Amino acid sequence: MARLVSVGMAVPPHEISQSEAKLFAKELFSRSFQDIQRLLPLFEHTGIETRRFSRPRSWFEKEHTLAEKNRAYIEMACQLGEEAIQRCLQPCNLDVNDIDHIIYVSTTGMATPSIDAYLVHRMGINPHVKRTPIWGLGCAGGVVGLARAFEAAQASPAHKVVLVAVECCGLTFRRNDLSKSNLVATSLFADGAAAALVVGDQVETDDFRSGPTMIGTMSTILPNSLDIMGWEILDDGLKVVFSKEIPTLVRKNLRPLVDEFINQHHLSLSDLDHYITHPGGRKVLEAYQEALGLSAEHFYTAYQVLKQYGNMSSVTVLFVLAEVLKQKQKKKTYGLVSALGPGFSAEFLLLKWDEADIGNKEELQGENLYYV
């Protein structure tokens, strides 16, 4: 079976603390909300301390056209994507020309040719590499992209497949959007990139013996939910659609869906060792806990990633997965990878560590990151 062997991460250079973001929001949104002081505590309630952005704070204090934002997106997607791929391949002693298939996931900018083509030219990747760009899945994109990478490696067992997810959520900021949805988005979203290497079972070297295999996947789109999450495309950019009903939908729908999925593989919640969950925000993680009857400890890694990096849309769950990969694993360990996205959709992927893995105890802010 195909195996996940490495995840590399990259973040942009501009770090903004949550306290600084709160002051920025106070200045901007007070024009729309007379009770802005009542709303500002949501910045503390997110569980976020710092976030990274592709542009400094001064950039957000000016108006920008959609064309300007998208040029910045292409620039940063290429930089962050390249760095994430380099970090992903480095521990496996691979060169970019060893890549057989690139899957590119993003929802925060547009490019034709797609960014994967830019990366082929930029990095000198084999011009015959297979490419699969995926757009529009939002926060669910990391799980979907990983599932497609596993399926591609299973279909072509001699191939090395690289998933690249890049999101520049900050570049979508619309300064003239003084809605509550945009205020919430201003408190949550950030920029980042991750790359994951999945290899088929005919790729046999010592560098690829550890890491989990994929047991199965499941996708679900909830009925009558198209207006829950997404973008509205306007002349000046992408307007965020972000319903306050998301935590309620998680509490109501998550447990039946998780049970349906893992029961297909003759498992129950007690069989799962890891909950590799996209941390959309603290309220969403708390809704996960309530729906599944679990403690915050089960989502510790997701909370830590949220705290240090914020919500990077599709990228964030791959940061959580990277941290789990560093941990020592026992034989026959199971992990549930999950994320929610536009549609309104739920995506699940079941991983299994077939052999004991010695792990790697690097810190979150250690050598596993590139700052571009």
The amino acid sitting at 76 is M
For the range 208-212, what are the long-range contacts, defined as Cβ-Cβ under 8 Å and sequence gap of 24 or more? 208/3, 208/5, 208/92, 209/355, 210/5, 210/355, 210/357, 210/358, 211/3, 211/4, 211/5, 211/6, 211/325, 211/353, 211/357, 212/3, 212/4, 212/329, 212/333, 212/335, 212/351, 212/352, 212/353, 212/354
> For residue 344, is the peptide bond before it cis, meaning its omega torsion is within 30 degrees of 0?
yes
The amino acid sitting at 54 is S
Q: Is 169 a catalytic residue?
A: no
Active-site annotation holder among 78, 88, 139, 169: 139
Per the CB < 8 A criterion, the answer to whether 10 and 192 are in contact is yes
Residue (of 123, 127, 239) closest to 174 by Cα position: 239
Alpha helices in 210-299 (DSSP H): 246-263, 282-292
Task: List the catalytic residues.
Answer: 139
